[in-house]
Each structure stands twice: as C-alpha cells, then as structure tokens.
C-alpha cells in the first residue's frame, strides 16, 4: 500500500535486506538492516525508544523539541532524524548508484554527525557530563 516509487516496477524488494518488499513501514521499522543500525546507535547513545514506527517517533519528538529546550529530547531528535536521513541515503545509493555501505559505516556517519551538532551547540556548558562522555565532547 505504501510502496515507494522506484525506477522499475518488477523489483520492489528492499535493497537494504534483500528480503522483504520495500515500504516506508518496512524501511524504518522492520528492516533487519535498519534495525541493526538502530541497535548500534541506540547502544552508543544509551537511548531506548518506544517500539513505534519512526515517523510517529519523529513527529512526537519534533513536537516537543527546541534547540534551547530539553537537551536530552533534542539529542533524541537529532539521533533519530540522523538515522532516518542516513538509512534513506543508503537506500538511494543502493538503488541508484549500485554502491553499498555496511550498517556499522552508517553508524559511524551518524555518530560523527551527532558529535558535530553537539560541538556546535551554543551553550556547550549546559551539556550534561554523561552526554559529553558518550559523544566525546571536550570542554
Ligand atoms: Zn529491508
């Protein structure tokens, strides 16, 4: 029902896991590749999201997040939106460029992106020590 448009109609298989039919729900909720990335990132971030589709989670976070508000919510939002972005990029790379990266490479890219965004946070002194340790932020 929510299949994504693709260049050909005959191959609707997910390029990330090569196992299921591709859909938004599959890509961001049920795909083994995406779940592997999510596991790696969640483990690093020490974050555990409710078991909801990612678009619902993003919407929930977006409604509660401002860069100057609760920093933990803001970081949760950064992490989740970064995962969605990189998984979608990977999907497109595999579909259109015939080039692929493993889950741990996506994890590295996501971790680097979060670190940079935290380094650019205007009130770095307000970042809790726990977060600085996780994301390797120096004072
Ligand atoms: Zn898949």
> Looking at the 3D structure of the chain, how many domains does it have?
1
Any domain includes 47? yes
Any domain includes 34? yes
Any domain includes 6? no
Q: 2 C-alpha vs ligand 1 centroid, how far in Å?
A: 14
Q: In this model, does residue 6 exceed pLDDT 60? A: no
pLDDT of residue 115: 95
- Give, rounded to a whole angstrom, the gap between the first and last alpha carbons of the chain: 49
Rounded mean pLDDT of 53-81? Answer: 84
**Which residues span the domain enclosing 108?**
24-135
For 7-53, the pLDDT digits (tens) are 555 478 999 999 999 998 899 889 999 999 999 999 999 988 777 78
Residue 127 per-residue DSSP state: S
Q: 88 C-alpha vs ligand 1 centroid, how far in Å?
A: 11
Is residue 32 within 8 Å of 4, Cβ to Cβ?
no
For 92-111, the pLDDT digits (tens) are 999 999 899 999 999 999 99
Q: 28 C-alpha vs ligand 1 centroid, how far in Å?
A: 9
């Amino acid at each position: 029902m929510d299949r994504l448009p693709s260049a050909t109609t005959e191959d609707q298989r997910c390029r990330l896991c090569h196992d299921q039919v591709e859909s938004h729900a599959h890509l961001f909720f049920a795909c083994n590749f995406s779940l592997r990335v999510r596991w790696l990132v969640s483990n690093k971030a020490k974050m555990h999201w409710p078991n909801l589709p990612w678009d619902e989670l993003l919407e929930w976070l977006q409604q509660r997040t401002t860069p100057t508000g609760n920093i933990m919510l803001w970081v949760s939002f950064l992490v989740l939106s970064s995962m969605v972005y990189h998984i979608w990029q990977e999907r497109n790379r595999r579909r259109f460029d015939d080039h692929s990266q493993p889950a741990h490479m996506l994890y590295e890219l996501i971790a680097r992106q979060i670190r940079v965004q935290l380094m650019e946070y205007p009130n770095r002194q307000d970042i809790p020590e726990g977060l600085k340790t996780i994301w390797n932020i120096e004072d």
